[in-house]
């Protein structure tokens, strides 16, 4: 509700609307015409215009001798400007150079502008997809084995520490790893074994890279116990759980085990070092 | 009484239509007429001036001038002018558009000389009294108020304002209310002086008129028409840039939403006009008050009727001398705007240019276009208007036979190719008035102008 109080004598100049509208101009003229009539006969009719704009006389209690005209807007004050007053803003700051000039048709450049937009969009899409794929793979691969676990997958053995004829046991991948430094006699024995007598026939040279060193997993192929080195009837290993005898090449000779001791992947990094795994 | 069936076929009647004769006077004024044998005639002046020639400061001058035109001339003050016209039983009217202004009179054929005399006075010697100017100012302001109630006008004006923003084609014919308040007599005189020149005017007549008589009358009354510009400053129309954009005048208190969407169309003399007109005929128009219901031949109309998508829609094509606006206008309630927009774009940008326009659609569209072209020319006034506008646009009257031939030459492939050229993947201009919350965002509308399929 807007209220404007005005003195009767100065009504024409005082009724200033901040937003001159079509309605207002009509209105102010009507008011100018209206005023003399009021003074002439003292009767003050109501003036109601389109937007429920009511002028009614109010007797001000402080200045009882004066009439004031009070103008009120009641109800919805939908003063609408003419639609032709709506100015489309100037978007020159945002326009591409080809369409800055309002006196040039935009059709000529439309193909070029579209191609540019689509190229940029396409390139951005490709880059974004690649980036998204990278991020997702990074998160997913974080669920795989960590570096310290992966590091455990290989073991480096210093062969100089193992005297001849002795077997050393290492923990590797949670299992015992036997590294045996064989004597010449043992090598010759193993190489001469007839394959026909073997439960799991494998020639010695198929089980070792360098005949001096036998590297096998110390897990009995029967039910998984750890065989004892330098024990048993064949100069190799003896599994105490159920009595499996292995020879110096790790092959099963006697007892319940079905297969030879497993030979893992290994490679000799140099004369003195072997990396298993 | 038995009325014998017509023995003249459509083709014969086209060929036998009276020829439009065209003559030019020395000062450049062109005189064109068609003698149709009616007892009445319409004669008028079509002027190549309109809101497009105005500037921001004097936008609305043409419209104001139109109001002043019948307020008296130097020889005939207002009452005398009115009496002359009334005593002939004639109708004197005028209209102003973006590129044309027309003053014309409908009268008996025998009153042609008097009509030309009065018209010549109205156009050349308008009195333009200061008092009249002030009085008409109030009338113009009131008319501005009233036009706000005609939402179709408002919507299409806003469409032009946004589509051609920054150019003279964005101006509304009515002009802003600030100009209506400040335009002076001097502005009107200047406007008259710079645009009402003989080479840009056509004296056009249709009805029971004789061309030679008309030329004689023109020589008598219009020889004095100026053909020189002050300082040789001939106003040249520069091309108007089209901007794909959107304007929304949202008012949830209104009962219906009025939405218009348009792409840049073909200019007046373009060979693409006819295929585009055929395409628009295929889409057609619809009004909920019409009786066709779901049996309407236009697919969009049938769908609109069955699903109650809209109150009305129409496909339109406004051509100007070097550009155009081709689009769809629809009126619907606030819950169906999105559907209607989707299906309109579907019909428009997809049915008519993907491989789905059928031979039967095109045949139907051609027939209905021919029918509407013929039906429009149903009286001396429409014919006179046609002549006036054609001579201004093309330099000659394009006869119905020629339109017919061009329409016959349209094939479905032509419709597809031409529509693809103007519609496919182009930025549209959208204007919406009313409870338009449901209108999709402009980016969505723009994305619906193509399909990701081949």
Q: What is the DSSP string of B260-318?
A: EEEEE---TT-TTHHHHHHHHHHH-EEETTSS-GGG-SSHHHHHHHHHT--SEEEEEEE
DSSP H stretches of helix in chain A: 11-14, 22-41, 107-141, 147-151, 184-191, 204-207
Token reading at A26: 């009509």
- Grade residue B3 by pLDDT with cuts at 50, 70 and 90: low
What pLDDT is attached to residue B430? 97
What pLDDT is attached to residue A44? 42
Name the nearest CA neighbour of B35 among B203, B202, B212: B212
Phi then psi dihedrals of residue B250, to 5 deg: -85, 130
Subunit contact B426:A90, Cβ cutoff 8 A: no
Q: Which of A16-20, A241-245, B249-253, B320-324 has the lowest mean pLDDT?
A: A16-20
Subunit contact B239:A104, Cβ cutoff 8 A: yes
Q: What is the least distance, in Å, from the CA of A148 to any CA of chain B?
A: 50
Angle at A168 between CA A167 and CA A173, to 5 degrees: 130
Report the C-alpha gap between A152 and A174 in whole angstroms. 9
- Grade residue B295 by pLDDT with cuts at 50, 70 and 90: confident
Cross-strand pairs, A54: A48, A72
Residues of A in contact with B241 (CB under 8 A): 99, 101-106
From the candidates B35, B66, B246, B264, give the one annotated as an active-site residue: B66
Q: For residue B34, give every residue at least 6 positions away whose Cβ sits within 8 Å of its Cβ, in sequence order, or none.
A: B18, B19, B20, B21, B205, B206, B209, B383, B384, B387, B397
What pLDDT is attached to residue B353? 62
B265: nearest CA in chain A?
A107
Q: What is the least distance, in Å, from the CA of B350 to any CA of chain A?
A: 19
pLDDT per residue as tens digits for the range B83-98: 999 999 999 999 999 9
Subunit contact B243:A114, Cβ cutoff 8 A: no
SS3 B27: coil
SS3 B51: helix
Q: Is B213 a catalytic residue?
A: no
- Grade residue B155 by pLDDT with cuts at 50, 70 and 90: very high
pTM over 0.90? The answer is: no
Phi then psi dihedrals of residue A168, to 5 deg: -110, 140
Phi then psi dihedrals of residue B47, to 5 deg: -115, 135
Report the C-alpha gap between B319 and B417 in whole angstroms. 19
Residues A226, A228, A233, A236: is their CA dihedral positive or negative?
positive
Subunit contact B247:A88, Cβ cutoff 8 A: yes
Report the C-alpha gap between A267 and A274 in whole angstroms. 6
DSSP H stretches of helix in B92-168: 112-124, 130-147, 151-163
Q: Exposure of A156 by Cβ count < 10 A (0-12 exposed, 13-18 middle, 19+ buried)?
A: exposed
The partner residue sitting opposite B181, judged by closest CB among A25, A101, A114, is A25
Subunit contact B323:A105, Cβ cutoff 8 A: yes
Q: Chain A residues contacting B, CB < 8 Å?
A: 21-23, 25-26, 76, 78, 80-86, 88, 90-92, 99, 101-107, 110, 114
* ipTM higher than the 0.85 cut: no
Phi then psi dihedrals of residue B397, to 5 deg: -85, 130
Which H or E run contains B215? Answer: helix B211-222
Four-CA torsion A152, A157, A163, A168, nearest 10 degrees: 20
Token reading at A92: 């020159």
Report the C-alpha gap between B105 and B21 in whole angstroms. 20
Q: How many CA atoms lie within 13 A of B350 on its CB side?
A: 17
What pLDDT is attached to residue B241? 94
- Among B135, B170, B241, B434, which would you mutate to test the A interface (most chain A Cβ atoms within 10 Å of its Cβ)? B241
Enter the DSSP assignment of A2.
-
Q: What is the least distance, in Å, from the CA of B152 to any CA of chain A?
A: 12
Say yes or no to pLDDT of B18 above 70: yes
Residues of B in contact with A88 (CB under 8 A): 161-162, 165-166, 170, 245, 247
What pLDDT is attached to residue B289? 86
Q: Which of A61-65, B154-158, B276-280 has the lowest mean pLDDT?
A: A61-65
Q: Which of B25-29, B68-72, B268-272 has the lowest mean pLDDT?
A: B68-72
Q: Residues B394, B268: contact at Cβ < 8 Å? A: yes
Per-residue pLDDT for chain A (277 aa), expressed as one digit of tens each?
A: 333 333 433 333 333 333 333 333 333 343 344 333 334 444 444 333 344 444 555 555 555 455 444 444 444 444 557 899 999 999 999 999 999 999 999 998 999 999 999 999 999 999 999 999 999 999 999 998 888 878 778 888 898 888 888 899 999 888 999 999 999 988 898 888 888 888 889 898 888 998 889 999 999 999 999 999 988 888 889 999 999 999 999 999 999 999 999 999 999 988 889 999 8
CA distances to A46, B54, B311 from A33, in Å: 14, 35, 44
Q: Residues A253, A245: contact at Cβ < 8 Å? A: yes
Say yes or no to pLDDT of B162 above 60: yes
Residues of A in contact with B162 (CB under 8 A): 88
Subunit contact A88:B145, Cβ cutoff 8 A: no
């Amino acid at each position: 509700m807007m209220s404007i109080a005005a003195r009767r004598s100065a009504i024409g100049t005082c009724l200033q609307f901040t937003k001159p509208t079509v309605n207002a101009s009509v209105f102010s003229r009507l008011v100018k015409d209206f005023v003399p009539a009021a003074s002439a006969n003292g009767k003050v009719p109501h003036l109601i215009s389109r937007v429920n704009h009511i002028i009614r006389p109010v007797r001000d209690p402080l200045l009882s001798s004066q009439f004031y005209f009070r103008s009120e807007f009641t109800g919805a004050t939908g003063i609408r400007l003419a639609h032709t007053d709506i100015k489309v803003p100037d978007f020159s700051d945002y326009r591409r150079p080809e369409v800055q000039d309002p006196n040039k048709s935009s059709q000529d450049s439309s193909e070029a502008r579209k191609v540019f937009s689509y190229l940029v969009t396409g390139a951005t899409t490709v880059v974004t997809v690649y980036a998204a794929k990278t991020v997702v793979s990074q998160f997913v691969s974080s669920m795989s084995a960590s570096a310290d676990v992966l590091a455990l997958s290989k073991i480096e053995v210093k062969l100089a520490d193992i005297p001849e004829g002795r077997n050393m046991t290492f923990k590797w991948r949670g299992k015992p790893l036997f590294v045996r430094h064989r004597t010449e006699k043992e090598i010759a024995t193993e190489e001469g074994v007839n394959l026909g007598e073997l439960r799991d026939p494998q020639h010695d040279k198929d089980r070792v890279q360098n005949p001096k060193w036998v590297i096998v997993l110390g897990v009995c192929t029967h039910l998984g116990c750890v065989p004892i080195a330098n024990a048993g009837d064949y100069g190799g290993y003896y599994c105490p759980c159920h009595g499996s005898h292995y020879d110096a090449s790790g092959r099963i000779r006697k007892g319940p085990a079905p297969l030879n001791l497993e030979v893992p992947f290994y490679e000799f990094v140099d004369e003195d070092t072997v990396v298993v795994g | 009484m038995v009325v014998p069936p017509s023995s003249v076929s459509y083709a014969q009647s086209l060929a036998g239509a009276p020829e439009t004769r065209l003559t030019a006077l020395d000062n450049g004024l062109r005189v064109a007429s068609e003698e149709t044998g009616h007892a009445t005639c319409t004669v008028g002046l079509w002027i190549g001036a309109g809101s497009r020639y105005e500037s921001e400061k004097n936008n609305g001058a043409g419209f104001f001038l139109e109001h002043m035109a019948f307020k008296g001339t130097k020889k005939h003050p207002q009452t005398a002018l009115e009496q002359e016209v009334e005593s002939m039983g004639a109708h004197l009217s005028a209209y102003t558009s973006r590129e044309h202004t027309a003053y014309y009179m409908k009268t008996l054929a025998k009153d042609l000389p008097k009509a030309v005399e009065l018209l010549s006075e109205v156009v050349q010697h308008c009195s333009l009294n200061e008092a009249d100017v002030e009085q008409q100012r109030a009338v113009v302001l009131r008319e501005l108020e009233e036009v706000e109630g005609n939402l179709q006008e408002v919507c299409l004006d806003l469409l032009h304002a946004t589509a051609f923003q920054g150019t003279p084609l964005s101006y509304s014919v009515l002009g802003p209310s600030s100009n209506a308040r400040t335009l002076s007599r001097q502005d009107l005189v200047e406007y008259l002086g710079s645009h009402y020149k003989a080479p840009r005017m056509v004296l056009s007549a249709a009805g029971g008129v004789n061309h030679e008589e008309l030329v004689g009358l023109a020589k008598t009354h219009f020889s004095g028409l100026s053909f020189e510009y002050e300082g040789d400053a001939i106003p040249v129309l520069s091309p108007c840039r089209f901007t794909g954009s959107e304007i929304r005048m949202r008012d949830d208190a209104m009962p219906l939403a009025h939405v218009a969407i348009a792409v840049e169309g073909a200019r007046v003399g373009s060979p693409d006009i006819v295929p585009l007109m055929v395409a628009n005929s295929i889409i057609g128009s619809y009004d909920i008050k019409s009786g066709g219901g779901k049996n309407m031949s236009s697919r969009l109309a049938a769908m609109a009727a069955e699903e109650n998508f809209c109150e009305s829609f129409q496909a339109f094509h406004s051509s100007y001398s070097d550009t155009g606006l081709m689009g769809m206008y629809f009126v619907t309630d606030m819950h169906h705007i999105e559907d209607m927009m989707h299906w309109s774009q579907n019909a428009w940008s997809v049915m008519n240019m993907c491989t789905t326009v059928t031979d039967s659609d095109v045949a139907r569209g051609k027939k209905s276009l021919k029918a509407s072209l013929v039906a429009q020319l149903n009286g001396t006034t429409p014919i006179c208007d046609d002549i006036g506008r054609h001579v201004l646009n093309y330099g000659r009257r394009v006869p119905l036979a020629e339109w017919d031939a061009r329409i016959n030459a349209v094939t479905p492939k032509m419709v597809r190719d031409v529509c693809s050229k103007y519609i496919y993947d182009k930025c549209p201009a959208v204007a919406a008035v009313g409870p338009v919350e449901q209108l999709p965002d402009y980016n969505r509308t723009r994305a619906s102008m193509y399909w990701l399929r081949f």
